[in-house]
Chains A and B, each alone.
Chain A
Amino acid sequence: MNNLFESRKIRYWIIILVLFGVMYPYRQILNNRKDKLDLGEATLGDVDTGSFMLKLALLGGARGIAANVLWTRAIELQRIQEWDRMKTTVDLITKLQPHFLAVWTYQSWNLAYNVSVEWDAPEDKYDWIKQGINFVRDGVSKNRRSPDLQWDTAWYYYHKMGFADEAIILRRLFRDDIDENFKTNPISKSVQNDNFQVSSGWFESAVELVDSGANRLNTAIESTVEYVDAPTQRKGRAGDLAFRSMPPHALTRYAISLEKESMKDVPATFGELASAEWNNALISWKKFGDYEYETPNVIPMENGELVTAKVRIADSEDYSIFNEIDKPEYWQRTINRKVSPAEAKALAENKKHWTDRWATQMNYPYWTDRCRAESTSEGVNARRLFYEGTKAYRRGDFQTTVNNFRDGLNIWKALLKNHKNYNGDELSKKDTGLIVKRYKRAYIQAGLGSELPKDTPFLENLALAETDTSVDPFDAQEVIPIAPRNTDNSGSQATPTGAGAPAAGRPAPPTTNPDGSKPVPEAKALQPVPVPK
């Protein structure tokens, strides 16, 4: 019995060794294939050892089921407003499936947009937006070849922080955040105090990734499903106009924000800095314009061949190339085949069509012209005068307002004479119209007359502005109501009050009961006890 047992043991050992022996070359083959196909865990992004162990050792093939269970749980936790537990649950899903991109995208959006909006105080909203951004950035670090996740990161910095209703406070909180990693621009590696700057870095990084040949990683479902009509709206396709336009948009937004009180209680910046930032935006726009896009349609040649052409959006500003492209020689040079005059005409028309169409679609001439105009010292100066005029207007110093607006408008008019594309745009008309409207009010208040002088620049935009009562939500000067005179003169009110905030921010308790009930005559009110902090 004992002998048999012993010999059986030995047999098992031999089998184990043989299996190991066979596994070794097999592993080598597998590893080679993995390297060739770029499928290794380490080539995708940072390796999380714990997650790797969890996936392999503990759950094996069951991780899909585990992820599903966790996902349903996360939804339920969100429903019952258990935000923190929901976040930790979602974290666990990504530990299980770190290369399932949709999880990162969906849940980061969920945190930054859906959860943050459930919180009332702007600083709490900011906290959750930051949670969402850090979440997707974790995804970026684990999936370095995904332009989508980088673009998402950029979008949250750009849109959720910069365009929220509370943007002026959120941007201020971003500026004051001491978390340097969160504020680091991935391209310049410097810590920046404006979310638009950081977002432009992330947008740029996504574009660079696409230019280096990276494409969206396929998730499991996409690689196995053959779509009849495959989805095309993937950020990170090389020819995606909107995708490529975001770095210049972010920089432009940054320049615009510099010249107003776009962060609460942070004064605007003018001078060389502003001018330089407008220039940066211009450079970025030009880079966008210089990229060669492929036309989406094809032109049939006489021999039946289908030919596309390259389109540069920047050509829309400088038509010199269009004098040339009607000629067959141009096309022979660019597409390396003989071209008849009729073919050249067709190709040229097509190229011109798409250049114009895309330039208009992206409002390219407006943005470049605006950057050119605003980056001049006159442009910056005019903006400064408008800003200071508005400040004086809020103070009730109408004479200064009138002087500033008048000088500013004159400079502005002289400047825009040379910038037809900017001047002709509706956005610009609205912008200047607002200044004229304010100018008129200050003019009347200052007792200078009931009508503006006929030679006032941009008077034609006044009528439109008079009907428009909307305010710029990204300018604290417009959003925050004017404070009572005796509190401060900086044009802003006391800081938003949190719990235990100064009593100045507290409205007086209602003097009568809102339900109209009569107060009990012998009622003796007690003094509130301050809550100790």
Chain B
Amino acid sequence: MIDTLFTIAQAGAAAAAEPVPPPVWVQNLLGWLYLIGDPAFTTKGLMGSLLTWTKIIGLFCLMSWIGARTLSAIKQRIEMPALSGIAAAGLLGGLASILLQQLQRTGRLSMPLIGGVSPAVILGIVSLIAVLVWVEAMLWISMKRDSNRGDRTLLLAMHLALGFGIFNGMLIYYFAVVPPGMTVTIVDFIAQGARMGLTYMGYAALLLLIVRLGMEMNMFNPIRTLAIAWLARKEANRRMWAPYVVLSVFLVVLAFTHWFLVPPRPAEMSRLFVGTLTLLCSLLITLMIIFLSPLSLPTDIQQQTIYTIVSKPVSRLELIWGRIVGYMTLVTMMIGLFGAISYIYLVRQVNSTIRLTNEEADRVRTDNPLRATQLDEQSEQLTARMSARVPVKGSLVFRDSRGVPQIKGIDVGQELEYRTHVEGATPSKGIWRYGVVSHPFDEVGNMAARDGGKLPGKQNYPLLDRRIPVDNFLKPGTIEFIDNQIVLLNSRKAGGESGLDSAISSLQEQRRPLANKDAELQAELKKAQAANNQPEIERIQSDLAGFHSDPFRIEMSFTIYRTTKGRVGEPVFASIKATNPRTNEQYDNTFPVREYYTDNQLIPASLLVGSDGFLNIEIQCVSSSQYLGMAESDLFILASNGSFFWNFVRGLMGVWLQALVLTSIGVFAGTFLSWPVALLTTIAFFVAGQVAFNYLQEFALSAQTGGGPFESLYRLLSHDNQMSDLTPTVAVITAKTLDSLVMPVMSRLVYVVPNFASLDVSNSVADGFAVTNTKVISNLLMAVAYALPFSVAGFFILKKREVAA
């Protein structure tokens, strides 16, 4: 509610007649404070991610600091019955409040409101205050006993931050414009202020941590770290034989791959193999890490071998990072080895499949031309997948059967809703727009306006940059390249720029001899074609190619939905119309659609001349009463074909990043847990991040059907389905109360558990699409964003722990 109010306040709320909107600078200031302060609010892009990351890390620092301080106070065992009483009352009151709220929610209990607020909520707030009082007291007690300047400063800063947060809340209340019909009290804004104060407190705690880490970094010595790394690697080799075991398993599985993985069709062969090999590599490395990293520190401590190290001037940070570096060295070596073996295996397999497919195609070409074509296409697909294609994607909008602009095509009732359809032999079409284009939601309105002869209205969404990198497609020195430059200069000239004439005329000079030679060759080609002189035709064509940029390739994969069988064996046809909106140059063609294969169209580069990266591609279905299914990524312009090898390496880098995160978690768990628990913790993190991440997300959004774990358990035992309303019996209310206690904690896990699956880019590699640099960098950042805090947390825990006692 506060969020809504705030946005309204920010927007100036012209709708509300009475209050005057605050001046712009106040709005901006409040906006910034809100953005920085609210834990759940963020902005787009890298900046937003970084901000959220800082907020979460800050809150964790705060929690850890308060937790550590409170624990140390408890350990002092100071007898203060009044304080203990307050804490106990606070906890019990909190429980009672949740129970009461559940009873109210399920209709078992109705209580009169006190001042517009439910008594259960009031009880909850009172309990919270009681607990806070206790925590405050504990902090002071611990400060009394042992504290340094940093801790004391932080305690002060935290109170100031909380106060500042509450002040912010009141500021927003003062300036907020409340729409009529909505009642808010100052309490709401104070609560919101406290929320923001919490974040500010987190920043303060984070600052202290950074200062302390910086002090530690003063003593940090890379050589010592490497020495620890060297030891960790040696230990891994010696103690577990881990690398050898993992390598043997890898080789055994590889030897039997043909037995459990028989690709049904050659076309998909590389996809299946790349996927499986990367999965195997990732599984084995993960297993290795899970069994190495969490065990090392606890066993060292248990066997007291750690004395030999901690008694030397080695920083605890070096101890942690050294281990991580050591294991990652091992991981790098293993991935390198696995990658090399996999790559050789893969290339051999794929090449032999391509060769066999081609041979079979040649063998059956005369007797079974249909099969030969099919095999040709499969081998072509396989070849295409063994590359790193860089697609240039457009923005898709539709027109339906009556020509009305639509955001989606026609739904033919297929279970998979990813693709929507255009109807054959009607105005229905899919339009891919390239250039700086309006968002599809806006574009639908714009198209409707233009159809009605009106001007497009207000744009609600930011423009999309889908420009074609024209320079990639036009080869310098070719006619198209020069033409493009001339057109661009002319348009600048038309825009009022002067002094371009000489440049234009020099370009025209350059063009003239090329054009003359081109015309000559064209004439020769016509003659040769008339004479049907094949070698001559080929020679002229290759000569001609020297004057022109290569045609560019559009790749398409549409599905077909037939309402009638049509003529037996006749494919469904599609028409493509590509228009350069700047020059109105057009390319038209009709082609048969092959379902689940890639259809290619080669388009003369001259279409891009003067386009500035703008292009419209329209796809229609020609065959009547048949439908073509399409989605935005089903059509793209192929910008380049990179090397499969480097793409494969990038795929393996995903595995490496997963290993990095997992190693940090393992080492972190080893700093304070005994080895079996540390092992289980690492496994739990991996399972949660790899398998159950989506489920955790549902948790965070409270979107899961059938309630939390306890309610689900109840449903399971009582054979109730997930949707039915439960009768509020004692058992149900107990389950729901327990859920309300557990859910907030569990839903926060989503911030701690790394999304391992998103680091995995093997799908793109398997599909033959390039893993972009942006993707690599963002994954790298994400991995570091998890690995760094875990390792630093490990450091602080290890530092506090009396290892050598």
Enumerate chain A interface residues (CB-CB to B < 8 A): 50, 79-81, 83-85, 87-88, 91-92, 95, 118-124, 127, 131, 165-166, 168-169, 173, 176-178, 264, 479-481, 495-501, 505-510, 513-516, 520, 522-533
Residue pair B427, A526 in contact (C-beta under 8 Å): no
Residue pair B602, A530 in contact (C-beta under 8 Å): yes
Residue pair A524, B271 in contact (C-beta under 8 Å): no
Mask, B583-603, CB within 8 Å of A = 1, is 011111111111111011111
Query: Does B376 count as interface, using CB distance less than 8 angstroms?
Result: yes
Q: A122: which B residues are within 8 A, CB to CB? A: 370, 568-569
Interface-lining segment among B119-127, B181-189, B253-261, B732-740: B253-261
Q: B373: which A residues are within 8 A, CB to CB? A: 123, 498-501
Question: With A and B bound together, what is the CA distance between A131 and B571 in angstroms?
Answer: 22
13 A-B pairs whose Cβ atoms sit less than 8 Å apart in the complex: A50-B256, A80-B418, A87-B264, A88-B263, A121-B571, A127-B374, A176-B364, A495-B369, A506-B590, A509-B589, A514-B427, A524-B585, A529-B551
Residue pair B584, A119 in contact (C-beta under 8 Å): no
Mask, B675-713, CB within 8 Å of A = 1, is 000000000000000000000000000000000000000
Residue pair B368, A120 in contact (C-beta under 8 Å): no
Residue pair A507, B573 in contact (C-beta under 8 Å): yes
Query: Does B75 count as interface, using CB distance less than 8 angstroms?
Result: no
Query: Does B403 count as interface, using CB distance less than 8 angstroms?
Result: yes
Interchain nearest-CB distance for B556 vs A (Å)? 11
Interchain nearest-CB distance for B442 vs A (Å)? 21
Q: A531: which B residues are within 8 A, CB to CB? A: 600-602
Query: Does B437 count as interface, using CB distance less than 8 angstroms?
Result: no
Q: A85: which B residues are within 8 A, CB to CB? A: 268, 271-272, 275
Question: With A and B bound together, what is the CA distance between A112 and B321 in angstroms?
Answer: 56
Residue pair B575, A509 in contact (C-beta under 8 Å): yes
Q: B222: which A residues are within 8 A, CB to CB? A: none
Residue pair B584, A523 in contact (C-beta under 8 Å): yes
Known A79-B415, A85-B272; contact A509-B588, beta-carbon cutoff 8 A: yes
Contact among A84, A118, A121 for B374, CB-based, below 8 A: A121
Residue pair B272, A120 in contact (C-beta under 8 Å): no
Mask, B371-414, CB within 8 Å of A = 1, is 10110110010000000000000000001000100000000000
Contact among B267, B376, B586, B591 for A526, CB-based, below 8 A: B586
Known A81-B416, A127-B265, A514-B425; contact A529-B604, beta-carbon cutoff 8 A: yes
Question: With A and B bound together, what is the CA distance between A523 and B616 in angstroms?
Answer: 14
Interface-centre pick from A127, A509, A526, A530 (highest chain B CB count, 10 A): A526
Interchain nearest-CB distance for A44 vs B (Å)? 20
Known A124-B374, A498-B571, A499-B592; contact A83-B264, beta-carbon cutoff 8 A: yes
Question: With A and B bound together, what is the CA distance between A118 and B364 in angstroms?
Answer: 25
Query: Does B622 count as interface, using CB distance less than 8 angstroms?
Result: yes
Query: Does B748 count as interface, using CB distance less than 8 angstroms?
Result: no
Counting from the closest, the 5 A-B pairs by CB-CB distance are: A515-B427, A496-B569, A176-B368, A84-B268, A529-B602
Contact among A83, A118, A166, A515 for B569, CB-based, below 8 A: A166
Contact among A92, A121, A505 for B260, CB-based, below 8 A: A92
In the complex, what residue of chain B is closest to A178 when comparing beta carbons? B364
Residue pair B403, A499 in contact (C-beta under 8 Å): no
Residue pair A525, B367 in contact (C-beta under 8 Å): no
Known A84-B268, A169-B569, A510-B575; contact A50-B259, beta-carbon cutoff 8 A: yes
Within 8 A of A (CB), among B108-141: none
Interface size range on B against A? 35 or more
Residue pair A120, B568 in contact (C-beta under 8 Å): no
Residue pair A499, B594 in contact (C-beta under 8 Å): yes
List 12 additional contacts besides A50-B260, A176-B371, A509-B589; criterion CB under 8 Å.
Answer: A124-B596, A169-B370, A173-B368, A176-B367, A178-B368, A495-B370, A496-B370, A497-B571, A499-B592, A510-B575, A526-B604, A529-B604
Residue pair A123, B596 in contact (C-beta under 8 Å): no
Residue pair A496, B571 in contact (C-beta under 8 Å): yes
Known A121-B594, A523-B584, A529-B551; contact A91-B262, beta-carbon cutoff 8 A: yes
Contact among A79, A95, A264, A498 for B594, CB-based, below 8 A: A498
Residue pair A498, B575 in contact (C-beta under 8 Å): no
Residue pair B264, A123 in contact (C-beta under 8 Å): no
Interchain nearest-CB distance for B574 vs A (Å)? 11
Interface-lining segment among B37-45, B325-333, B559-567: B559-567
Question: With A and B bound together, what is the CA distance between A508 and B364 in angstroms?
Answer: 30
Residue pair B584, A520 in contact (C-beta under 8 Å): yes
Question: With A and B bound together, what is the CA distance between A528 and B591 in angstroms?
Answer: 11
Question: With A and B bound together, what is the CA distance between A50 and B253 in angstroms?
Answer: 11
Contact among A91, A121, A506 for B573, CB-based, below 8 A: A506
Interchain nearest-CB distance for B588 vs A (Å)? 6
Contact among A119, A525, A529 for B586, CB-based, below 8 A: A525
Query: Does B755 count as interface, using CB distance less than 8 angstroms?
Result: no
Within 8 A of A (CB), among B263-286: 263-265, 267-268, 271-272, 275
Query: Does B429 count as interface, using CB distance less than 8 angstroms?
Result: yes
In the complex, what residue of chain B is closest to A516 when comparing beta carbons? B427
Q: B271: which A residues are within 8 A, CB to CB? A: 84-85
In the complex, what residue of chain A is closest to B551 when comparing beta carbons? A529
Residue pair B264, A84 in contact (C-beta under 8 Å): yes
Residue pair A123, B374 in contact (C-beta under 8 Å): yes
Contact among A87, A120, A510 for B595, CB-based, below 8 A: A120
Interface-centre pick from B360, B568, B591, B600 (highest chain A CB count, 10 A): B568
Residue pair A499, B377 in contact (C-beta under 8 Å): yes
In the complex, what residue of chain B is closest to A168 when comparing beta carbons? B568
Question: With A and B bound together, what is the CA distance between A295 and B559 in angstroms?
Answer: 53
Q: B596: which A residues are within 8 A, CB to CB? A: 81, 83, 119, 124
Residue pair A507, B602 in contact (C-beta under 8 Å): no
Q: B355: which A residues are within 8 A, CB to CB? A: none
Question: With A and B bound together, what is the CA distance between A526 and B594 in angstroms?
Answer: 24
Q: B415: which A residues are within 8 A, CB to CB? A: 79
Question: With A and B bound together, what is the CA distance between A123 and B569 in angstroms?
Answer: 9
Question: With A and B bound together, what is the CA distance between A223 and B266 in angstroms?
Answer: 41
Question: With A and B bound together, what is the CA distance between A131 and B586 in angstroms?
Answer: 43
Within 8 A of A (CB), among B305-320: none
Residue pair B565, A165 in contact (C-beta under 8 Å): yes
Interchain nearest-CB distance for B590 vs A (Å)? 4
Question: With A and B bound together, what is the CA distance between A83 and B596 in angstroms?
Answer: 10
Interchain nearest-CB distance for A190 vs B (Å)? 19
Interchain nearest-CB distance for B402 vs A (Å)? 9
Question: With A and B bound together, what is the CA distance between A83 and B595 in angstroms?
Answer: 12
Query: Does B652 count as interface, using CB distance less than 8 angstroms?
Result: no
Known A50-B256, A119-B595, A496-B571; contact A515-B371, beta-carbon cutoff 8 A: no
Residue pair B620, A514 in contact (C-beta under 8 Å): yes
Question: With A and B bound together, what is the CA distance between A176 and B364 in angstroms?
Answer: 8
Residue pair B371, A123 in contact (C-beta under 8 Å): yes
In the complex, what residue of chain A is closest to B573 when comparing beta carbons? A507
Residue pair A507, B590 in contact (C-beta under 8 Å): yes
Interchain nearest-CB distance for B676 vs A (Å)? 22
Residue pair B370, A88 in contact (C-beta under 8 Å): no
Question: With A and B bound together, what is the CA distance between A498 and B265 in angstroms?
Answer: 18
Query: Does B62 count as interface, using CB distance less than 8 angstroms?
Result: no
Residue pair A120, B572 in contact (C-beta under 8 Å): yes
Query: Does B539 count as interface, using CB distance less than 8 angstroms?
Result: no
In the complex, what residue of chain A is closest to B271 when comparing beta carbons? A84
Residue pair B585, A526 in contact (C-beta under 8 Å): yes
Contact among A505, A515, A533 for B376, CB-based, below 8 A: A533
Query: Does B142 count as interface, using CB distance less than 8 angstroms?
Result: no
Known A88-B272, A507-B573, A527-B604; contact A124-B595, beta-carbon cutoff 8 A: yes
Q: A131: which B residues are within 8 A, CB to CB? A: 264
Contact among B263, B360, B571 for A120, CB-based, below 8 A: B571
In the complex, what residue of chain B is closest to A111 when comparing beta carbons? B264
Residue pair B586, A523 in contact (C-beta under 8 Å): yes
Query: Does B607 count as interface, using CB distance less than 8 angstroms?
Result: yes
Q: B599: which A residues are within 8 A, CB to CB? A: 499
Contact among A166, A498, A529 for B592, CB-based, below 8 A: A498
Q: B595: which A residues are within 8 A, CB to CB? A: 118-121, 124
Question: With A and B bound together, what is the CA distance between A501 and B551 in angstroms?
Answer: 21
Question: With A and B bound together, what is the CA distance between A176 and B369 in angstroms?
Answer: 9
Q: B262: which A residues are within 8 A, CB to CB? A: 88, 91
